[in-house]
Amino acid sequence: MFLPTLLATVPPTLQWSPVVGLIMILSNIAAIAIGKYTIKYPSVGPAMPSSNLFGGFGLGAVLGTTCLGHILGAGVILGLANAGVI
């Protein structure tokens, strides 16, 4: 009964493209840069396999910064898609 109304109110989702991937990569790089300057003890906890590739971050710092990067990336992608830029 309400299914046609519900389906009519859901906006179309964005298709993946290289631009979307580039925005997510740039968002993660920005979050890692933010974490580099704001995390007081970035190397606490289990070490990453090649710590020089991860900026000397421990596992917790890598997970935290990449989580923030994905949140930022999702917001930027949805905002740009809603504005009609991508």
Q: Residue 55 region, left (φ>0) first, then alpha (ψ -120 to 50), else beta?
A: left
Higher confidence at residue 7 or residue 45? 45
Angstrom distance (rounded) from CA 86 to CA 79 = 9
At 19 the pLDDT is 95
Q: How confident is the model at residue 1 (pLDDT cuts 50, 70, 90)?
A: low
pTM: 0.80
Nearest-5° Cα angle at 72, 10 to 36: 165
CB count within 10 Å of CB 61 equals 22
Measured distance between the N- and C-terminal CA atoms of the chain, rounded to whole angstroms = 35
Domain boundaries, the chain: 16-83
